[in-house]
Amino acid sequence: MHHRGQAFRFDSRNDCCRRQARKGMLAFAKRMAPPQTTHAPSAASEKASRTSLNIRTRLRPILFSVGDCVFLLVIGAVAAMVMRLIDSLAWNAVLTWVVGMALAMLAQTILAFAAAPLLGSIETMVPSMVLTMLCPMALDLLEMIGADLGWSWSIGFGAGLGFAMFLFVEIYGVRCRKSPHRLGVRR
């Protein structure tokens, strides 16, 4: 059984330890806190920072759209160039189609992995995969019906398909954002 005096001394020692720990934590927090400014920010500087943030917020989607467009233009041109290179080997038609499309898809995958950190992996992979399948097939179809495009026209055709894919994706995105079927999604 404890005497009142002993219990009191034990509690007071415990309180003393708590106070010292609290003082140490406060001193540590003061050392780690960033230096505080002595003046309040002016209204002009607050307005300038808000304007700068507003410009960055508005500019970001535009830059992403430009990046997506350029990426799909490059993918279309590369797919057409790869298909033209394989066509120039004068192999069997079926072998040319298979190898040309496989190499175009390999080039697309490498470029998509390179652009994914900037543009996003889904945004680069999905449209560019469809584009890389369509472009070589369309060039082969044109060749089968006798419309042999030269190198520059083939690359331009691939870039044009890339731009068409970009427009399709942008229009689809706008339509999806305006859809009334998007329940629970902030508009």
Domain that holds residue 84: 60-177
- Supply the mean pLDDT for the chain: 78
Q: Give the DSSP letter string of 52-79.
A: HHHHHHHHHHHHHHHHHHHHHHHHHHHH
Residue 31 domain flag = no
Residue 23 domain flag = no
Residue 65 domain flag = yes
Number of C-beta neighbours around residue 153 at 10 A = 16
Q: Is 25 left (phi over 0), alpha (psi -120 to 50) or beta?
A: alpha
Task: Convert the pLDDT of each residue in 25-73 to its tens digit.
Answer: 666 666 656 656 555 556 666 666 666 667 777 788 888 888 889 999 9
Residue 37 domain flag = no
Domain tally, the chain: 1
Residue 173 domain flag = yes
Residue 13 domain flag = no
Residue 117 domain flag = yes
pLDDT at 162: 93
Residue 7 domain flag = no
Q: Cβ distance 147 to 141 under 8 Å? A: no
Residue 11 has pLDDT above 80, yes or no: no
pTM (predicted TM-score): 0.64
